[in-house]
Amino acid sequence: MPSHSVDGHHAARFGRQEAGQSTYLIPWLDGRPVGHAEMRGVGAMGLGVGDGNPRAAALYARLGYLPAVAYLDRWTHLDSDGVPHDRADPCTFRVKAL
């Protein structure tokens, strides 16, 4: 794979991926990549999926993420008048061995 970085970083990262030494993650938002991370020496990765989102749960199941524990995701947001509102969603934490 050609590297477009001055120091060859991309080619080295890709080599680690091909050798099974790392996993490269790219989060997407509205069809565009919004970040990246390389994970090395990590045995597993986890993520939360809202119980009201069966399509996401099915996707992550196909990708090898197994349900591990149910939890309640809580957060607070401010409305347009600046009034705080507490919210909570039931979720399932899913884990995949890397």
pLDDT digits (tens, 9 = 90+) for 13-50: 778 878 877 777 777 778 776 666 666 776 788 889 99
Kindly state whether residues 36 and 48 are assigned to the same domain. Answer: no
Among 32, 37, 39, CA closest to 16 = 39
Which structure tokens are listed for 38? 């390389």
- 60 pLDDT more than 80: yes
Kindly state whether residues 57 and 87 are assigned to the same domain. Answer: yes
**Domain count within the chain:** 2
Kindly state whether residues 21 and 62 are assigned to the same domain. Answer: no
Kindly state whether residues 28 and 47 are assigned to the same domain. Answer: no
Kindly state whether residues 53 and 75 are assigned to the same domain. Answer: yes
| Structural domain for 51, as ranges | 43-98
Q: Would you say how long the chain is, in residues?
A: 98
Residue 2 pLDDT level (bands cut at 50, 70, 90): very low
Kindly state whether residues 38 and 48 are assigned to the same domain. Answer: no
Kindly state whether residues 48 and 96 are assigned to the same domain. Answer: yes
Q: How far apart are CA 86 and CA 11, in angstroms?
A: 46
For residues 7 and 54, the model is more confident at 54
Kindly state whether residues 58 and 97 are assigned to the same domain. Answer: yes
Kindly state whether residues 47 and 95 are assigned to the same domain. Answer: yes
* Dihedral sign computed on CA atoms, order 55, 56, 62, 66: negative
For residues 23 and 71, the model is more confident at 71
Kindly state whether residues 21 and 50 are assigned to the same domain. Answer: no
